[in-house]
Amino acid sequence: MSMFGQVHVKNGQYKIKGDFHELTPNMPIRNSDDGWKLMGVTNPRDMTYIHSYGGESIFFESLSKGKLMATRCDNKKCESKGSIYQPFRIFCPDCLSKMTVIDMTDIAKKTAKIHTFMVCERSGAFNILKRPIKFINIEFDGVCTILMSYLAVGEPEIGMRVVPIFQKLDPTYTILDMAWVPEKTKSNHLPKGFSF
Ligand SMILES: [Zn+2]
């Protein structure tokens, strides 16, 4: 088995190591109703995609440290000056200027509420969340957007107060490092690797 591709940046360039695409031998598809006649082949393909976070890096780095970052437009000339955006976005949708990164962990802990939710019994490919998945849309005081995430413990209800939990042990550096639980959930009820 070869080594999965690894990447780091040096002198402003990607330095890559290992295999980014791997060819696995194909297998015949045969028809058991017709003398095992050849019908086609499977083509297994593994590839490693290099996903750049750019200006959103600070968001994912912060999740791994138990912090939820947002952005705020501080442009004096902007009609929407002072608006806070969660999910994290780099540029103001109204004036297109670069926004200021702020730490909204406390706002989330004190004011997060379920705006609406949906429970999914089935999932798409590569899902690693436990099913049924309780997707929740979360609203925060003073934040003009709604965040999509999932409830890791309990049953969702509209208006329910929730608090964020973070995968600080063994983080994935993806959005899956954050989940939500009902307010007052005990820390020994959190999923493995997660803490407040
Ligand atoms: Zn703006």
Ligand 1 mean position, distance from CA 147 (Å):
19
Ligand 1 mean position, distance from CA 99 (Å):
7
Ligand 1 mean position, distance from CA 87 (Å):
16
The stretch 30-48 carries a mean pLDDT of 95
Residue 2 has a pLDDT of 60
Ligand 1 mean position, distance from CA 85 (Å):
11
pTM above 0.85, yes or no: yes
Q: How far apart are CA 6 and CA 117, in angstroms?
A: 37
Ligand 1 mean position, distance from CA 54 (Å):
20
What residues pair up with 27 in beta bridges, in sequence order? 42
Q: How far apart are CA 64 and CA 166, in angstroms?
A: 7
Asked whether residue 64 is domain-assigned, the answer is: yes
Convert the pLDDT of each residue in 81-123 to its tens digit.
999 999 999 999 999 999 999 999 999 999 999 999 999 999 9
Asked whether residue 127 is domain-assigned, the answer is: yes
Q: Report the Cα 187 to chain-centroid distance in Å.
A: 22
Asked whether residue 47 is domain-assigned, the answer is: no
Q: How far apart are CA 137 and CA 115, in angstroms?
A: 5
Asked whether residue 33 is domain-assigned, the answer is: no
Cβ–Cβ under 8 Å, residues 84 and 102: yes
How sure is the predictor about 46, in pLDDT bands with cuts at 50, 70 and 90? confident
Range of the domain at 165: 54-195
If one counts the domains in the chain, the total is: 1
Asked whether residue 21 is domain-assigned, the answer is: no
Residue 29 has a pLDDT of 98
Asked whether residue 178 is domain-assigned, the answer is: yes
Residues with CB under 5 A from ligand 1 (ion): 73, 75, 78, 92, 94-95
What residues pair up with 40 in beta bridges, in sequence order? 29
Asked whether residue 125 is domain-assigned, the answer is: yes
Asked whether residue 24 is domain-assigned, the answer is: no
How sure is the predictor about 158, in pLDDT bands with cuts at 50, 70 and 90? very high
The stretch 32-38 carries a mean pLDDT of 97
**Domain holding 110: CATH number?**
2.40.50.140
Q: DSSP of the chain, one letter per residue?
A: -PPBPEEEEETTEEEEESBSEEE---EEEEETTTTTEEEEEE--EEE------GGGHHHHHHHTTT--EEEE---TT-TTTT-EESS--SB-TTT-PBPEEEE-HHHHHHH-EEEEEEEESS--TT--SPSSEEEEEEE-TT-SS-EEEEB-SS---TT-BEEEEEE-SS--SSGGGEEEEETT--GGGSPTTEE-
